[in-house]
A and B are shown apart, each in its own frame.
Chain A
Amino acid sequence: MSTTELNWIEAGGLDDLPKPGGRKLRTPQGDIALFRTSADEVYALADKCPHRGGPLSQGMVYGQRVQCCMHGLNLDLASGKAVAPDQGCATSYPVKVEGGRVWIGLSLAAAGCACA
């Protein structure tokens, strides 16, 4: 995905995110789950579990993963892929943190999914 197609929007400050934890981000393109790990990495996934649509932002974050609060599917935050042997994939969005502010890149075209 080339950056020229991205529309970077500001999604609050790093300190607005619990550590480690997640929050829901409302965007014109739908809800996105923003995550902050205990190592201060920030990731963004569509706020919809590939299993049965649970809100990933409400899950528990550990290491580089989140466990969905609905039925316990574990997803890798960086790729959005379910941890084996589970299958499925949540759309992931590029994120950057600059000067304590979090920016998220929304694609103007269809958003990318690592398993597509």
Chain B
Amino acid sequence: MSRMKLVMVGNGMAGCRTLEELLKIAPDLYDITVFGAEPHPNYNRILLSPVLAGEMTVNEIILNSEQWYAEHGIRLHLGRQVTQIDRRARKVVAADGTEAPYDRLLLATGSTPFMLPVPGSDLPGVIGYRDIADTEAMIDAAQRHRHAVVIGGGLLGLEAANGLKLRGMDVTVVHVMPWLMERQLDRAAAGLLQQSLESRGLRFLLEKNTAELVRGESGRVCAVKFKDGESIPADLVVMAVGIRPNTALAQSTGLHCERGIVVSDTLQTFDPRIYAVGECAAHRGTAYGLVAPLFEQAKVAANHLAMYGIGRYTGSVTSTKLKVTGIDLFSAGDFTGGDDTEEITLNDPCGGVYKKVVLKDNRVVGAVLYGDTADGAWYVQLLKDRQDVHELRDHLLFGRTHLGDAGHKGASHAASLPDEAEICGCNGVCKGDIVKSIKTHGLFTLEDVRKHTKASSSCGSCTGLVEQILASCVGGAYQPADSATKPVCACTERSHEEVRKAIRDHKLLSIPQAMHFMEWKTPNGCATCRPALNYYLISTWPHEAKDDPQSRFINERAHANIQKDGTYSVVPRMWGGLTTPAELRRIADVAEKYAIPTVKCTGGARIDLLGIKKEDLPGVWKDLGMPSGHAYGKSIRTVKTCVGAEHCRFGTQLSMSMGVKLEKMLFGMWAPHKVKLAVSGCPRNCAEAGIKDVGVIGVDSGYEIYVAGNGGIKTEVAQFLCKVGNDEEVMETTGAFLQLYREEGWYLERTVHWMNRVGLDHVKKRVVEDAASRRALYERLLFALQGYADPWLERTREAALKREFEPITVPD
């Protein structure tokens, strides 16, 4: 069967990204032909400013080399402008007569700089700022001329001005509005920006209307004349007053165009064989001029071209970051305010910091940051997630970087760090490595950076710094995905939320069934989705869905923790941290019998035996005669206790017995991530209940219950949930809280992250205020845990389960 023909007109970022997405999901569907008017293969247009500024070369910003096109069998026509589309004969014709027939046509013609219609705008020395040719013209002018005038004080104009200044020109920026970047910044932030740019030697003329560009004796432009009669010398004039979607070709063939080529949610024009993506397209009345939305469009267009037909593009939230080295500026969403919005601002002109977050109905709708943009990604996330932030209001402006507490010497601002600063303390990745990788591989997402550099891919504590570096390299092209719609992994388009819902609503009971029902793109998933699906199945349908050990990580499959040399560690359960002389004797005997090299007390008040060979595990468990401590699982780990009123002269409650009861109740509880509890017998809190998933603190009149604390990567203090009167109520409330987490949490989400997402109010409503709901949750937990057998005991008894621990041997 001959393949369908896909022709792409326009060889820029949006179009090529569409092809890349298409080749990923349907590599053999089309014969592809690409026409590009420029003589270059696809390059990273947003890095033209660093090229102008002399920080990078043209070669470094190429995204797809000519070899890439060849490797994918794409016919590439460079330097050939398509001038005609014959929709009846379904072919395109280029200026030089080259023709190409199509079954599907993808228009990605981008945009052109808008040139002010003033006398002299066609003089030599007057250019727009759009492509490599413009950039080269500017670099050339800087070598031979002195006075540059940039008309337009927006993002592009300022980047051009900064580059020309660095190239040694005298630069004046002319702007018609009262402040710079008025579409991205409010007046206060723009003022700080202007000051900073002035200190670098740029001049600004605001509220100036250009009347004429004056021709000099040589025929080249020599001055800019304003409507107020004033004029300034100019050997180079860069027009950066805006862009116009390039719709001429589409219009000439009768496609409906408004501001851009009008497209549907599937990126189809009024002729369904013809798609349009990128700056040339107008979707729901908006033509986007930033890169991030174009990538989202590319994904949907590719999905549709591949004939999956399940993606829809519904518009984008955009954010902006100025790529002028040394200036930190960020804005997102709608920050102009209005009657129904509120603004929270922080203004420190001396310190050069300005922050404004705009709220509407307790949700973030916009943000402007100057000087300290560390939390830009967080605000975009809150904005996209439409998260209710009233609980965060009082510290919203102080940010919540995704940074952990350790591993990066306390630094929180990536911009100020030198290239050799270590960003990722787990994998030893420096800032310079990350920057280099982003630029040479053309990376735009956190996932890409993780894959290429390993930074932020282990504990995740440096994620916030990596995001900042990414944003400072690619500007607004870096967009954190909204967590609610982010797919579980590359095997599916579905989010965790959608997967959970489908499993619940359609009573899916096995991984193959779930993958089939949800149209997984891979035959049996990957190491990311398989464990998540397994957890969702067994937590949603306890006793019905079958646990799949092959979808669990080695620790949960072997019921022990693998160590760096391939041996395992064994942590027997000691209920509430209590043990007996008999248990200690058995532990000592086992350690000697199996020549266990290391015996250590854990932070969870129990004993770890390290360095055990896998084949010895069943024997060790049998000889210990103690149940599994689940120190290896996304499950209940420990309930740490202080000695409490049993012995302590300050104790108000019997914390040891409370802890033992809780731990016995929760034995065998799998969860989205590990779960740790603590019970203290008085507010001195010796069991450190303030940094546990559930912390119970005894007071004279009962117990206080704190939830969603965390003592690991980032210390999070647990929040007060409620006060209860007796042990029974502690059990029910704790059980209900954990069951809600088990039912709503996404796989690998700790309680603190889940609660940040859903809000403490929501948790209180379901667990504290509504007694029937609390009871029902508690009962569902008890039902799920009914009859759970100790996995160690099972593996000492059942031959089939022992096989996991035996290597296959061949005779010598």
Contacts and interface: CB of A to CB of B under 8 A. Distances in A.
Interface of A: 9-12, 16, 18-21, 23-28, 31, 34, 38-39, 52, 54-55, 58-63, 65, 67, 69-72, 74, 85-86
B525 interface: yes
| 5 shortest interchain CB distances as A-B pairs | A67-B527, A69-B554, A24-B807, A58-B554, A60-B527
A96 to B, nearest CB: 15
Given A28-B812, A85-B452, A62 B554 contact: no
B554 A9 contact: no
Given A54-B566, A58-B566, A60-B550, A23 B807 contact: yes
A39 B522 CA distance: 13
Given A11-B808, A12-B808, 15 more contacts: A11-B810, A19-B550, A20-B550, A23-B807, A24-B807, A26-B808, A26-B810, A31-B807, A54-B566, A58-B554, A60-B550, A61-B550, A63-B524, A63-B525, A72-B457
Interface string B431-450: 00000000001000000000
B650 interface: no
A60 B810 contact: no
Interface residues of B, number: 31
A85 B804 CA distance: 32
A62 B530 contact: yes
B524 A24 contact: no
Nearest to B812: A28
Interface of B: 441, 451-452, 457-458, 522-527, 530-531, 549-554, 558, 562, 564, 566, 614, 803-804, 807-810, 812
Contacts of B526: 62-63, 65, 67
B808 A16 contact: yes
Nearest to A65: B526
A20 B524 contact: yes
A38 B458 contact: no
B523 A38 contact: yes
A80 B536 CA distance: 32
13 contacts: A11-B808, A18-B804, A25-B807, A25-B808, A26-B808, A60-B552, A62-B527, A63-B522, A63-B525, A63-B526, A67-B526, A69-B554, A85-B441
A71 B458 contact: yes
B554 A16 contact: no
A86 B551 CA distance: 23
Contacts of B452: 85
Contacts of B527: 59-60, 62, 67, 72, 74
Contacts of A9: 810
A25 B806 CA distance: 9
B812 A59 contact: no
Given A11-B808, A25-B808, A54-B566, A60 B553 contact: yes
A58 B562 contact: yes
A72 B457 CA distance: 10
Nearest to A48: B566
A18 B808 CA distance: 12
Nearest to A18: B550
Given A24-B808, A25-B807, A72-B527, A85 B451 contact: yes
B379 to A, nearest CB: 30
A113 to B, nearest CB: 21
Contacts of B525: 62-63
Contact of A69 (B549, B550, B553, B810): B553
Contacts of B810: 9-11, 25-28
Q: Which of A21, A34, A58 has the most CB of B within 10 A?
A: A58
Nearest to B804: A18
Nearest to A58: B554
A22 to B, nearest CB: 10
B523 A63 contact: yes
Contacts of A20: 524, 550
Contacts of B812: 28
A68 B804 CA distance: 17
Given A34-B808, A60-B530, A62-B530, A21 B562 contact: no
Contacts of B441: 85
B807 A69 contact: no
A31 B566 CA distance: 12
Contact of B562 (A18, A69, A85): A69
A59 B803 CA distance: 16
A39 B564 contact: no
A6 to B, nearest CB: 14
B514 to A, nearest CB: 14
Given A26-B807, A26-B808, A26-B810, A39 B550 contact: no
A61 B548 CA distance: 13
Contacts of B522: 62-63
Nearest to A17: B808
A21 B566 CA distance: 17
A20 B523 CA distance: 12
Contacts of A18: 549-550, 804
B377 to A, nearest CB: 23
Contacts of A38: 523-524
Nearest to B437: A85
Nearest to A84: B451
Nearest to A54: B566
A100 to B, nearest CB: 14
Contacts of A54: 566
Contacts of B531: 60
A41 B671 CA distance: 33
A18 to B, nearest CB: 6
Nearest to B524: A38
A39 B527 CA distance: 17
A37 to B, nearest CB: 8
Contacts of A16: 803, 808
Contacts of B524: 20, 38, 62-63
Contacts of A63: 522-526
Contacts of B809: 25-26
Contacts of A25: 807-810
A38 to B, nearest CB: 5
A16 to B, nearest CB: 6
A106 B380 CA distance: 56
A1 B809 CA distance: 25
Contacts of B803: 16
Contacts of A39: 523
B808 A60 contact: no
A41 B531 CA distance: 22
Q: Which of B452, B549, B553, B812 has the most CB of A within 10 A?
A: B553
A21 B457 CA distance: 24
Nearest to B811: A9
A90 to B, nearest CB: 15
